[in-house]
Structure 1
Amino acid sequence: MRIVSGMRPTGKLHVGNLLGALENWVNLQEKGMESFFFVADWHMLTTGYEDVSNLAENTETLVREFLACGIDPKKSVIFVQSNVKEHAELQLLLSMIVPLGRLERIPTYKEQLKELKERNIYTLGFLAYPVLQAADILVYNADGVPVGEDQAFHLEITREIAHKFNSLYSRVFKEPKTLLSKVPKLLGTDGRKMSKSYGNVINIDTNEKELKNAIMPMMTDPARKRRNDPGTPEKCNVWAYHKAFGTPQEKLEEIHEGCTSAKIGCVDCKKILLESMKKKLSPIWEKIDELKTHPQLVKDVIEQGNKKAQAVANETMERVREAMNLYR
């Protein structure tokens, strides 16, 4: 089974990316899926075209963090979207059959126009990003795409486009399945939606001191205004992090009982969380540090991955050109 997924190179990844996507990618890779994971730099341009000063650097940073989190170039293809031009060719051809009104009705299109109103994103590139997304998936004839439940509807237009192409011309594309993954619902350290713009994220590439500085001020149960006030763990952001980062069951029971009876304070609870997060993140920190001292390794992974991805993409495009009776 072949799967495809990607991330935008917007800077360092945070723990939400690790738990929400990367761990699932690694699990699918280890199950023997034929995996293609890419840096979606063209997608970044759909909303961030005005500032590209760090785009190349962020691309290598993203690949380095892919590797540090367990994506294995011997088992998965890691590549850069803009280095495989077949993505752009397929987007152009698919755009011929996608109704303009269908793109304008996509919920995230309207939502992001409101959320990013300070940016000028009334562009063709932003409107057509779902077609590029479809091309990213279909050019590898993917069987499935790993997504969280809140992103599942993004795949519907890809399936629609594949179905329409197959009906108009000949059956070239599979209609990719949605591979749902259970994603822990983690808020930012201040209790709001996790977002770099809010400054409430914990980067994967951090260290023990920075991690402690992020955890200790975290929002907890609002009912616990004083040390001897009982709390409700289920209403506490720190409790969600404990569950997401694998705090042992016996410790969870200890924390739950101690919080509800006010036997332990929030500082004690956060110290336990710090240990759980250090245990999970320390191997990643070590790998990132190692890769930083060998930057050519990252460049080599990208170069090799680009070649593998392009070979597969070109095979698909040969079938597309034949189906559309383009002169060859």
Structure 2
Amino acid sequence: MFAERVLSGMRPTGSLHLGHYHGVLKNWIRLQNEYECLFFVADWHALTTHYDSPHAIAEHVWNMVIDWLAAGVNPANATLFIQSRVPEHAELHLLLSMMTPLGWLERIPTYKDQQEKLVDRDLATYGFLGYPLLQSADILIYRANRVPVGEDQVPHIEFTREIARRFNHLYGREPGFEEKARLAVKKLGSKKARLYDELRTRYQQEGDAEALEAGKALINEAQNLSMADRERLFGYLEGSGKMILPEPEALLTAASRMPGLDGQKMSKSYHNTIGLREAADSVVKKIRTMPTDPARVRRTDPGNPDKCPVWQFHLVYSDDATRQWVREGCTTAGIGCLECKQPVIDAVLEEQKPMHERARPYEEDPTLVRNLVADGCEKARELAQETLRDVREAMGLSYG
């Protein structure tokens, strides 16, 4: 069985803000302590929508990695790399494109959604149509079996699973596979071999998903199997062949609750963000000038926190006692809006303080982050080359 490996990436389209921290980076920081993690700068993906301004992408790459480090991503626990520095992504994308039905790409929900949203961009390109397949190649090249995504990205993971399944079905049959698989079954011992056959039949004839999981657990528990026999048994169980590319699972992440300065979702396109490493005086100014409940025209007018963007920040940053103080003070006009905003200012600055400290060495010496990423690219390439060797061999492209 393959290692428990997490893969996630971000497009370098500008400085990261607190929405990225609460929506993605906090999750990465948790995952890096639980799994083998690879986090990458998706610069090729940025080209799918910004191919006409690549210079902007180049400017954002290094800053984004510093933002990751500032947030607490630890290069001792995770591999950080740049997609385009691992050309194996592109080769696997090309090879997978030979067997991917066009209709599979056109039916992905985000394909039409993005075209409707980004009307100012020409997205009638091969790169944009094929970006979900490049995403699949990103995942499959590392045989990553855990991919943290939001609800809207689940169809991309399902698409990747279908690609892996189709690849394994087309190319996973080694010569004499059936015979080698039967010999591997015998190595389980007579009692477990009978159980394996029963579970395999239940899954393949009745589609019993529980039987499939039980069969996988049985293989994982077997002590005396070689890696090749283990893979044969997984493939034989599922009715495919040798499992060259494992099917990834979506690790669902909760939607970010981070609001913007105007009460909408925090987003660069709304111009309502607070940067991850924004200067303290700028943060103070932005929060102090945030809009509040329109009903509070004068200091003596009572307000309603539910209609105030500042209250959304209290929901993220304040404890119950502070929220109670805000609600009571706002509804009775006992406190003014500037008083209400102060705990938010204090909390945001407190959150950013360690970020500034972690970022400082990399800001002062840019070679540190470049060396760190170079090491990550080397590690990522080793893993990618190993997968590609197996892929080429399966497709008959290893001309020895």
TM bin, normalised by shorter chain, reads over 0.9
What residue ranges of structure 2 are gaps of 5+ in the alignment? Answer: 173-242
> Structure 2 CA distance, aligned partners of 1:253 and 1:319?
60
Matched residue, 2:332: 261
Q: CA deviation at 1:72?
A: 0.9
1:140 and 2:212 correspond: no
> Structure 1 CA distance, aligned partners of 2:357 and 2:271?
24
Q: CA deviation at 1:173?
A: 1.6
Q: CA deviation at 1:35?
A: 0.3
Q: CA deviation at 1:239?
A: 2.1
Matched residue, 2:90: 88
Preserved contact between residue 2 and residue 34 of structure 1 (Cα < 8 Å): yes
Describe how 1:1-328 pairs up with structure 2 within 5 A. Answer: 1-31=4-34, 33-170=35-172, 171-244=243-316, 246-328=317-399
Alignment size in residue pairs: 326
* Deviation digits for residues 254-303 of structure 1 (CA, Å, limit 9, x no counterpart): 22322233322322221110001011011102222331101111011110
> Structure 2 CA distance, aligned partners of 1:102 and 1:314?
27
> Structure 2 CA distance, aligned partners of 1:229 and 1:173?
63
Flag the structure with higher helix content.
2
> Structure 2 CA distance, aligned partners of 1:111 and 1:219?
31
Q: Residues 231 and 158 of structure 1: is their aligned pair in 2 closer, same or farther, counting only changes over 3 Å?
A: farther
Preserved contact between residue 108 and residue 155 of structure 2 (Cα < 8 Å): no
Counterpart residue type for residue 256 of structure 1? R
> Structure 2 CA distance, aligned partners of 1:265 and 1:168?
68
Q: CA deviation at 1:222?
A: 4.2
Question: Among the aligned pairs, what percent are the same residue?
Answer: 48
> Structure 2 CA distance, aligned partners of 1:35 and 1:233?
40
> Structure 1 CA distance, aligned partners of 2:157 and 2:337?
41
SS of residue matched to 2:396: coil
Larger Rg computed on CA atoms: 2
Preserved contact between residue 37 and residue 77 of structure 1 (Cα < 8 Å): yes
Counterpart residue type for residue 76 of structure 2? K
> Structure 1 CA distance, aligned partners of 2:143 and 2:320?
42
* Deviation digits for residues 108-157 of structure 1 (CA, Å, limit 9, x no counterpart): 11121122111112110011000000111111111111122333333221
> Structure 1 CA distance, aligned partners of 2:330 and 2:150?
31
> Structure 2 CA distance, aligned partners of 1:30 and 1:298?
21
Q: Which moved more, 1:268-277 or 1:158-167?
A: 158-167
SS of residue matched to 1:30: coil
SS of residue matched to 1:185: coil
Preserved contact between residue 207 and residue 285 of structure 1 (Cα < 8 Å): no
> Structure 1 CA distance, aligned partners of 2:392 and 2:293?
59
> Structure 2 CA distance, aligned partners of 1:161 and 1:12?
33
> Structure 2 CA distance, aligned partners of 1:103 and 1:227?
56
* Deviation digits for residues 181-229 of structure 1 (CA, Å, limit 9, x no counterpart): 2233333212334322332111112111110122122233444444344
Q: TM-score, normalised by structure 1?
A: 0.94
